Amino acid sequence: MDSVTKRYPDGTVAVDGLSLEIPDRTITVLVGPSGCGKTTTLRMINRMVEPSEGTILVDGVDVQKQPVNTLRRSMGYVIQNAGLFQHRTIADNIATVPRLLGWSKQKARARAEELMERVGLDASLAKRYPYQLSGGQQQRVGVARALAADPPVLLMDEPFSAVDPVVRKGLQEELLRIQGELGKTIIFVTHDIDEAIRLGTKVAVMRAGGRLAQFAEPAELLSAPADAFVEDFLGADRGIRRLSFFPSEGLELLTGPVVAVGATAEQTAAREASGAPYLLVTDGGGKPLGWSEPGSLPGAAAEELLPYGRPFVAGQDSLRVALDCAVLSPTGWAVAVDGTGRVVGVVSQETIGEAIRGAHAAGRKADVAGRKTDTEGRKADVAG
Amino acid sequence: MNVLNFVNAFFSDSAHWHGYDGIPTRLWEHIQYSLLALVIAAAIGLPVGLVTGHTGRGGNTLAFIATAARALPSFGLLVLLFVLIGLGMLPVMIPLVVLAVPPILVTTYEAVRSVDPSPVDAARGMGMPESRVLFQVELPEALPLILGGLRSAAIQIVSTATIAAYVSFGGLGRYIVDGLYQRDYEKVVGGAMLTALLALATLAVFWAVSRVAVSRGVRRSA
């Protein structure tokens, strides 16, 4: 996208001199407050809106140089309320673009069934009508319909903003999975910065007047917002959110204060000596039961144990999850489990705090290194 | 003096069931006039309503024409045209068409305008040509309302087509006009009754058509 501008006849400028290079096979998120021109930007890519100035190239070809309907059929298009055709069945909705491209009925039908499975819809829904589906299911149909003709590019305009948060999270995970499987180039518009950070490989933050405020990877956005506007838009807890990008892998876990439920008094005494103010009691299978006050026997009834909040999966969850677990736990200690839910250790808030400081320091070093290779890369580009 | 007695007397008189002035003949004439008027009115109202609704332009002009047409008294128009043109089908058809076009035109326009914009946007965004957007998205989704417009036009035509009898044509109006002239109130009531029944039958026909033509997915939401 090269210095694209959209000016309406009444003089309003929706998008002002926007230049963006959208990487292939990744999710690029356009995010910003309402009226920042993010939707207009998206709609200029498939020419639902014609730019006033500038050019948009897809794989080096100017979108203006292609017949408009050919262009649109080569890009999946997903909109906010799914925009399903109420008078057509789910299968027929999904088969829309293949039918436009002249596929046979059987081939389009087979493709629709394949896609329903891909987006996690039960095959029995094929003959239903949109009104019989929930909002989340309708949106899945919207995504399936966009994928039907296997377009390399997917344009998504606030696709998940009309569904409730739980369903939205499911749809986001599904989108990441589909993207991982199919490797589409997705351009995703949202006003929700959390969604942008969760989904985006790169995030373009736009400000009112259709200007680009910052175009960066989510981690960089959180650690180094370009200006006060971006910082403000990211919200107050960007420090906490940034922890999502730090793995819990290096956390030093203590196994000392962990004791099985049927342990003998000597074993318990030995465990108590390990320095932790509480003992974590596990059941016979190694699953956590709760915290025991020092001195009280770990053989005590389960209701006398302090709740352990929720555990985090060591190595898999981020530091943000680990910290959250520690904060939730009344003892201030987080419980680390493996993939099967067995306790692998416990960790205190202080230890997590140290890990965060360590990650920050490592991040700064990586940033400097990254910038250096970046500059070198650019030099090589110029030389080439 | 009971209306029911009139009705009973009218329908039980076997003379009313035979010949050129019999009920079957008059009913069939009435249906023919009504159908012809409805087809002409639909041929004018539907395309204009669809196109203006699709493009969203011309709504004000449309509303103006429709209001003006509604203000024309059918009977007055019939007499005027009869005087101007003379005896013929044309002076009968024009008032009926003028009566039926506004409801068809305005509801079609409004129906297409009020189709949910998101499937239309999605259709365009997927590369559907404009004609298909109109016929494969807007029309099917607007169909229940459009049929509603046609239905009310049809019912108005059926009840108004009785005026054809004033200019020497047949139809159910014959009984009313002749009955009034002959002071034969059995005939008047019988004719009115038949007209009302035909209007109800028209309703039933439209209900059946909408069962068949309107997609199950739209019928629920309409």
Q: What is the per-residue DSSP string for chain B?
A: --HHHHHHHHHH-GGGGSSTTSHHHHHHHHHHHHHHHHHHHHHHHHHHHHHHHHH--SHHHHHHHHHHHHHS-HHHHHHHHHHHH-SSSHHHHHHHHHHHHHHHHHHHHHHHHTS-HHHHHHHHHTT--HHHIIIIIIHHHHHHHHHHHHHHHHHHHHHHGGGGGGGT--STHHHHHHHHHHT-HHHHHHHHHHHHHHHHHHHHHHHHHHHHHS-HHHHHH-
B122: nearest CA partner in chain A: A83
Nearest to A281 by CA among A262, A267, A265: A262
Quick count: other Cβ atoms within 10 Å of Cβ A289?
17
| pLDDT tier at A383, thresholds 50, 70, 90 | very low
**What mean pLDDT is reported for chain B?**
87
Position A352 scores a pLDDT of 81
pLDDT at A182 over 60: yes
In sequence order, the 6+-apart residues with CB closer than 8 A to the CB of B44 are B97, B101, B104, B105
User: What percentage of chain A exceeds 70 in pLDDT?
Assistant: 84
**Other C-beta atoms lying within 10 Å of the C-beta of residue B203:** 14
- Which of A142-151, A283-292, A298-307, B148-157 is the least confident region? A298-307
Q: How far apart are CA A332 and CA A325, in angstroms?
A: 8
Longest dimension (CA), chain A: 84
Give the domain ranges of chain A: 2-243, 246-384
Residue A380 has pLDDT above 60, yes or no: no
Q: If pLDDT is split at 50, 70 and 90, which confidence band does A377 have?
A: very low
Residue A46 is encoded by which pair of tokens?
């498939």
User: What distance in Å separates residue B117's CA from the closest CA in chain A?
Assistant: 8
Give the highest mean pLDDT range of A156-170, A268-282, A283-297: A156-170
Quick one: average pLDDT of A57-67? 85
Q: Buried b vs exposed e over A58-74: b needs ≥16 C-beta within 10 Å?
A: beeeebeeeebbebbbb
First to last CA, chain A: 22
Determine the pLDDT at residue A360: 76
pLDDT at residue A111 in the model: 92
**pLDDT over 80 at A250, yes or no:** no
Say if the Cβ atoms of A129 and B220 lie within 8 Å.
yes
**Structure-model confidence comparison of residues A266 and A107, the more confident one:** A107
Check residue B11 and give its pLDDT. Answer: 79
Q: Among the CATH numbers 3.10.20.740, 3.40.50.620, 1.10.3720.10, 3.30.450.20, which is that of B22-216?
A: 1.10.3720.10
Of A247 and A79, the one with more pLDDT: A79
What was the pLDDT predicted at B207? 92
Helices (H), chain A: 38-45, 68-73, 90-94, 96-100, 105-118, 135-147, 165-182, 193-199, 218-223, 228-234, 238-242, 265-272, 319-328, 349-383
pLDDT, position A382? 43
Q: Which of A137, A67, A125 is nearest to A100 (CA)?
A: A67
pLDDT range class, residue A384, cuts 50, 70, 90: very low
Percent of chain B past pLDDT 70, that is, above it, reads: 98
Q: Say what the pLDDT of residue A331 is.
A: 81
Tokens of B72: 């024309």
The model's pTM is: 0.75
A28 interface with B at CB cutoff 8 Å = no
Q: What is the CATH number of domain A2-243?
A: 3.40.50.300
Higher pLDDT, residue A296 or B165:
B165
The answer, yes or no, to whether ipTM is higher than 0.90 is no
CATH topology of domain A246-384: CBS-domain (3.10.580)
Q: Is the minimum CB–CB distance between B125 and chain A shorter than 8 Å?
A: yes
For A188, the enclosing helix (H) or strand (E) is strand A185-190
Q: What is the pLDDT of residues B42-92, one digit of tens each?
A: 999 999 999 999 988 888 888 888 888 888 888 888 888 888 888 888 888
* Cross-chain residue pair B122–A68, CB shorter than 8 Å: no
Give A53's pLDDT tier (boundaries 50, 70, 90): confident
Q: Give the pLDDT band (50/70/90) at residue B222.
A: very low
In the prediction, which pLDDT does B121 show? 92
Instruction: List the 158-217 stretch of B: residues with Cβ below 8 A of A.
Output: 214-217
pLDDT of B8 reads 77
Residue B169 has pLDDT above 60, yes or no: yes
| Selected residue of A66, A85, A153 to mutate for chain B interface (largest B Cβ count, 10 A) | A85
